[in-house]
Structure 1
Amino acid sequence: LQAILEINRKINSITDLRSVLLDISNAAAQLIDAEGASILLVDRETGNLHFEVAFSENAEALYDVVVPKGKGIAGSVAEDGEAIIVNDTQNDTRFYRGVDNETQLTTHSLVAVPLKRNEEIIGVMEVVNSNKEGGFNNDDCLVLNEFAVQAGIAISNAILYKEIQEKADELEYLYEISNLTNQTFERKELFQKIVTLLTTAFDSKRVSIMLINEQTGRLYVESAVGIEDKLMGKIEVELNTDRISSMAVSMGKIIFSNDIERSGLGRNKKLRYENPAFISVPIKTKNIPIGVINISEPQRGIRYTGSMIKTLQTIANQVGNAYESNKNYIERIEHEKLTKELDIMRMLQNSLLMSNFKAYKNISIYARMKSAEMVGGDFYDFYELPPNKLGFVIGDVSGKGLPASLFMAISRSVIKAYSYYSQEPHELLEYANNMLVEDSHVGMFATLFYGIIDMDTNELTYSNAGHNQQYIYRPGENQFILLGTRGIPLGITMSERYETKKLQLKTGDVVFAFTDGVTEAVNDAGQEFEFERLKTVVKHYASTNSATLVNSIIRSVDEWANGVAQWDDMTVVSIRVA
């Protein structure tokens, strides 16, 4: 027990996912006296397992191995959630011998246990080759299961941190590419700066952008890092061939592998590769492939992952936009300089904000944001939480325009990530505040109201981080109930404390949350819309569904403004108990 506690203290003090996984695998092997351990994590999209840490000097050979859920020993553990002990793997039909073939090791015995986050299985830990006579036993399994509980928490925390950081990094890279597009008008120079940025973003020594030559129909290298200048002008790739770049463009889809030789993709005769990992992502304009981004030669210890591929795909879309803009910049350069960044962020912002609102048995939900500029700093979101709860948030970032929209995206991502980690609103706000304080270096902050509704009991739990006053309207009693708690905006100072309160909702109750752009909207006489007018609209439309109420509020504000330009974002969230 003491050993588990000591290991738990160590792994929970680390935020780097790979370091956490390595420490866990080493500790697992030591705990039950075995030669080594491997960790496989579940791909959330496919449900399949992928090796993240493997017991072998040739561990990289397993990075492309996919274990289907329900297949083999690890797959069975991932599907059933039950540990498995095998002390004669060579005669067990469930054992996948391809692993031994890849690693050149022999597995004699193993014990596999599930790794969980709450009740969700996030992976499998396999400890192999017991050093004890008789192999693994039930006591080993018991110890490993107990350790797996703590390991699952540590891995979940590291994954959460990694996802938040990757999202922030992605926004940063997109913002940098947007700046480069607006500042550099010569295409080769622009693309050279982009490939240089990508070498850092993906920890890789070789990055190239290849474009289709409109005269020859072949791919040529427009810009590159890690390719000798004397080869640059000689490289041409025919389309519709079995070369990686050609396949990515011809098929219009991403091609990647951490071992192109084993996957049968290693046919490039002109360039020699030290590392077998390779990514090729098509660049498109108007959904037509016009080139490809190739990334290879990752730094030692780096392997390409699904999240990297998604980030690169987003970047490739931006490169396609840059290509199209650059091609026509003589006619459009002044306009592009003013609008490029905003177009990018508006697209990202629209994709972040929910637009399809699910219908629930006893609850109607709807939300809408109307930006004062092309991009805004307001945000909202809804989250389905176990076992049958609905989380919701409304927030307002300080400032306006592009800086506010960037900080909004980060704030929303942080809140969403932590909403699945904690169902105590005050605790969630405390975690989010500390994260935003660390990442906010320009004095920006966010006011925010966060609540959770238990859809079985209709109990509302909520907390407020310096947001303006929010209310429930109870039609049966013609009463407006203030939802007030203590707490300052997020992102100002570390280690702030927030308060949680609870309220029992009744049938017909309407939770309506809003940002100050609603009540502070002015008309041509300089008069504000104010809360009393908002109350009148809410009373009138309280018996309708949430969509009607929200749209009626925004329409009423627009009518009140009577053509006066909107100076602040307006956001309204409505939840009606049926």
Structure 2
Amino acid sequence: MKPQSLPPIILKNEDGGFYLSSSNELDDLYHFILGQAKRFVSAKSAALYLRNGKGNLSKIGLVTDKTNAGHIAKHVFKSKKSILVKKGTQLNAKDAPVSESYIACYLGDEIGDMSLGVLVLEGIKHFQNFSEQDLDLINYFSANLNALFKDTVFSDIEPQFFNSLTTSILLLIDNANIHNNNNRLQYFLEEIIRVAVLINTSVDLEHVLVMVMESAKSVFRTEASSLLLLDEKKEYLVFHTVTGEKREEVSKIKVPVGQGIAGTVAVTKQPMIINDAQNDDRVFRDVDKASNFVTRNILASPLIVGDEVIGVIEAINTIDRNNFSQDDIDTFLSFSSACAVAIQKTRLLDNLNVTNLELKQKLSTLESIFDLGQAVLESHDELGLMSKTLSILTKELSCEDAGMVIIEEKNKNRIQVYARQLGIVRESFFPMFESRLFLSLMESGNPRMAVVTPQLEESFSELEFYTLKKNFLILPISPRGGNLRAALYVSGKHSLHSFNETDLRMLKTLSSPLAKAYENLRLNQEIITKKSIEKEIEITRKIQNNILPNALIQSPLFDLGVKSVAAKEVSGDFYDFHAFGDEQFSFLVADVSGKSLPAAIFMAMSSSIIRTLSRTTDMSPSELLYRANQLIYEDSQSGMFVTLFLVNYQRKTRTLKFASAGHNDQIWIRKDGSFELLKGKGAPLGVVPHTNYHGGEIQLEPGDILVFYTDGAIEEKSPDGEEYGLDRFIDYIIAHRDESSQKIVESVYNDIRSFSKAEEQYDDFTVMILKFAKVESFEMVKSFDAHPNEIPKLRDFISEHLEKKITKPFAFDDILISLDEAATNIVMHSYKDTNLQNPKFECKFELIGDKLKIVLVDEGKPFDRKKVPKPSVEANLKGERKGGFGVYLMETLMDKVSYEYNGKQNITYLEKTIV
């Protein structure tokens, strides 16, 4: 059955005039509006004078002086102009002056028939009159309230529409609060400017000080303010300028230096906040006794010229808030500086600079309020919105961490958390039973401020341990008309004090637009995601395909195999390897946080930085990670980071240097089947700007195996919840270590998939295996005299070290013949007709896997291979030339022969596959 509609809010009478209807729901709403209007400007009472069906004004609410309030309402309704009436104003010549100040704001259009009524506020607490800022705020509120009511003309109101109207009024109240905050900041700026102009232009010191203290009382909205000066002997502080109702009584009192709050400030030269004056023994009670005054809280600041204290100023008893805050100290220092300048007429420039700095700080707060609105407008997803708004919260509330805890609409068994920690916003999930404190507060709707004590921690569940540090403020939020059940929290206040009511008000101000924006984004994101997901997947796949190496390194030193499989459409893993000639190699595996297109772009950026550094510098792995982290941190956005394990292998020494950036321990399997985990220390890349990385160095042997992997290779689970695990992973590789590297990575992947029995992977899978050749690589060097008798010794040198290692048929004979020819050419030709004493030549060979490299070096006459003619049997038979076959014989028997002359030495290179 369709719910019964409510009557229209705005009706039209027989004369064509508009008026607001009446109902229980509307009456409750009218009283709620009156309460908020009073709260805005600390009014004593308020009433709505609304036009009824007969065209008269009917009053809703209470005022003390019904006659004057009614006259003011009729005047404003007729003139359609909002007014401020000061205390003592005579409305008519026959009437007595009004005993209170009034604000009366017109509800309706200035042009046309839409005249709904007048909002009247009577009397302001603790002040004589309402201010122009108060009028501006209430007028802003009234104009927007009129616009909301106007939108309902002639419409039958469904129950849910009434809820929507209520929600809109709540949003209007929040906006009015923001408008008020902006006005107060603007008012503060105007006051500072006014005081500065006054100091520079006025020669009346008494007038200047009175105006400054009145300004301080107004800016900080306190019941009183005072300025005390040190007497000549510097024994007492004497009240010089006092504002408030008790000025005459207070002005006669002297405060001993070192006693009371003012006396303490004069000694310490430091400002102080006392927010519980009645229970603080430091408060000088003679002032309250003499003035019959109750001091609740005090903000005090010294007057300093140079390094000398000349007095103290105080602000006493906040009006519209419970406590002074740390932010007030900075602002109050502006007034103490202004007073000191006015008294001494010195150091004007320094004080102006201080004032400018304070203005910048307050402007920064104003910018943060503006930034929140911008963040709501510019954010296109929940994480982006949270990254911006939580950053604003931590800045405005001067705390370390902030977050939003949400009961998921689709999954009621878990809680979604956006947490900003260490400057990074991350999304995570917790089971419902692991969030007792947050759930109880969201259920009750009550905020909570507390300091984290050992006793409180005993009641914490996992979510509280994850989010709440030192001290905290939690505010449940549940917008009317919305489905969102959530709570905002801030934690780790930077100042010595915990969170206070001012912080709570700020959090409430920011919570409403944030909650609405989050709900809208969540709905819009579902639509956007469906439309863009296919295009996004296509882009990310292309990016990732371009990131990974195209081909494996082919080397006689080792056998390389690799396999990388994404869990979803795109992967967060990547790997790389590079050969620096035949002497040095680098390998790495990495795991990037996040998924989708941003993660792919971050992966490409990270991989590019690491590749560039590793291929253009000679830094150690630890040094390289340090530099890479600096560069990646500069470009890291939205909390992205990368874990990485990097190794560098030197062939000659068989040493492996390694370092880790928050990555899993990697595996070194020795040729005898034993293994060791390679451990490094260091934060993931992109988390913090400067951090050190510590790795290690190991000595590898032929037949050893290195296994590089990401956590997806070991964290896959069986249907029973059992994890595949590191031990099972290592055992499998050891059992299959005699197979090729590529076959091992393929088979271990299949084994993990069989173990899981799931259609989809739990996480990205990346495994790279490096099997070192079982043939030992080594090198030898020996020097020989350039004499024919030394050639047999050269053959013996080669035979002694290589004969048993050369298994390829005829390879050993080919090598000996080639060496014999090369040595003969050096002895018989290179040193012929030279005057060198004791000529020598050097033979060096190195075995790399199945490749033998031989190098012969002599210092004889330069040898130019291009000048050696092709062999000719006919020329030899005719006696036209002798020999000429040795060079060509060597090039036939060996795989590769080359020559080089460096300006001093002839160098002959010979290469041969021996296995």
Higher gyration radius (CA): 2
TM bin, normalised by shorter chain, reads 0.3 to 0.5
What is the TM-score when the length of structure 2 is the normalising length? 0.26
TM-score computed with the length of structure 1 as normaliser: 0.41
Greater relative contact order (CA < 8 Å, ≥ 6 in sequence) = 1
